[in-house]
Amino acid sequence: MKVIRDPIHGYIELDPLTLSIIDSSQMQRLRRLSQLGLSNLVYPGANHSRFEHSLGVMHLATMLTGKIDSVTDDEKEELRVAALLHDVGHGPYSHVTENLTKLYTRQHHEDVRDILKKGELGEILSDNGLNPATIEDHIQGKTDLGKILNSEIDVDRMDYLVRDSHYTGVAFGLVDHVRLINEMKFYENNLVVNSGGVKAAESLLVSRFLMHPSVYYHHVSRIAETMFTRAVDDLIQKRSLNPFDLRKMDDSRLLEMIRNDDGYAGELAQRLDNRKLYKRAMYVGFEEVGEGVLKHRKNIKRVEAEIAAEVGIEPESVLIDIPRNPEIAEMKALVKVNNRMLRLDEASHVVATLEQAHRDNWKMGVYTPTEYREAVGKAAKNFFEVKRTTKQFRLTEIEE
């Protein structure tokens, strides 16, 4: 047994099986995938990788299964491997390229069976009697045991909230994951939280709520990631990039491809390299545009072209970012209180109040170069029929 030092969890133990997996080329690629995409343009310390996050998730999964008597040793090994490999299907810059991968390949980052069956990983799993299909089912949360990795409250969330908070320096990731793990168990084939863990579960949800606008959906990150996504899409449209290759690439390889382009993608890469980002021409929430705006998610390029035509500029100079409908899946986590099974939002008044507050954090953006900002903003507000509201600025909305 070997140990490595992790800045979040301290010493993490590695047995021969996990060591062999870590040494595979598929796992080593995760060292070169940014955990938080382009958030380092906002938080310079946010340079941690999917690799260290995967180690952390494995560590927490091991802690949790070690406290559940009904889990056999073979099942513990399966879940430990699944936890280590749960992000092996991510493409460059993690979630930044995920929507493009889904669009062009119909693959999610959790669809990893093909990756697990081939190359070094395929040989390692086969030599140790591990079924790639079963490992994938655990990763996707399709099994009871897999709910530890993928459910309303899981060890994946516990690790990334604490880890992302640490590396961004945002003091919102105060999740008592040790307490939460100690209060989780299986009951009637469901992963539940005992009543003694409700406060720890509340801390996880509050942390996620606060991290969402400050880190995950910070407007500068969203602008940079929208620009990067369009650059990658441009390469795919020009057949310079095969979308099926994305899950084999790392951040630097994809970025270099964009830099070497002599067209639109290359222009965006130059802007990203020099942090000459597009600016917010419009940045509004449901209160101003209503939830009906979500229907435009399927036709964003058409709307961009229409706004650009009204202003008299090229469509590439208008980027629209409409996030999906906000949800808090953790609210549906099950809590056992006085031998009764309740949803977390039924057991906690704190959690029950977060749903509307989370929706209040939702923002859509229309981005453009500085020189077109005023004209594009006016055209966008006309198109989306933005309602006038009394504006209350948050610190996260102040232009840098």
What confidence category does residue 397 fall into, taking pLDDT thresholds of 50, 70 and 90?
Answer: low
pLDDT, position 390: 57
Pairwise pLDDT comparison (267 vs 390), residue with the higher score:
267
- In angstroms, the CA 56 to CA 84 distance is 8
Q: Provide the strand spans (E) within the chain.
A: 2-6, 10-14, 184-187, 190-194, 279-284, 319-321, 334-337, 340-343, 364-368
Beta bridge partners of 320: 366
Q: What does the pLDDT look like over 75-123, one tens digit per residue?
A: 999 999 999 999 999 999 999 999 999 999 999 999 999 999 999 999 9
pLDDT, position 25: 96
Beta bridge partners of 367: 280, 319
Assess whether pLDDT exceeds 60 at residue 393: no
Domain borders along the chain are 1-169
What confidence category does residue 400 fall into, taking pLDDT thresholds of 50, 70 and 90?
Answer: very low
Nearest to 89 by CA among 58, 103, 110: 110
Q: Mean pLDDT in the chain?
A: 93
Tokens 């006016």 label which residue? Answer: 378
The answer to whether the Cα torsion of 337, 334, 183, 189 is positive or negative is positive
Q: What does the pLDDT look like over 176-203, one tens digit per residue?
A: 899 999 999 998 888 999 999 999 998 8
Q: What does the pLDDT look like over 357-373, one tens digit per residue?
A: 888 899 999 999 999 99
pLDDT, position 329: 80
pLDDT, position 391: 54
pLDDT, position 339: 82
Residues 6+ apart with CB under 8 A from 296: 303, 320, 322
Assess whether pLDDT exceeds 50 at residue 304: yes
b/e 31-68 (16+ beta carbons within 10 angstroms → b): eebbbbbbbbbbbeebebbbbbbbbbbbbbbbbbbeee
Q: Angle between the 264-273 and 219-237 helix axes, to the nearest 10 degrees? A: 150
Q: What does the pLDDT look like over 30-43, one tens digit per residue?
A: 999 999 999 999 99
- In angstroms, the CA 190 to CA 274 distance is 49
Nearest to 236 by CA among 333, 393, 386, 91: 91
Reported pTM: 0.93
Superfamily of domain 1-169 in the CATH hierarchy: Hypothetical protein af1432 (1.10.3210.10)
Residues 6+ apart with CB under 8 A from 31: 49, 50, 51
The answer to whether the Cα torsion of 167, 160, 221, 232 is positive or negative is positive
Assess whether pLDDT exceeds 80 at residue 279: yes
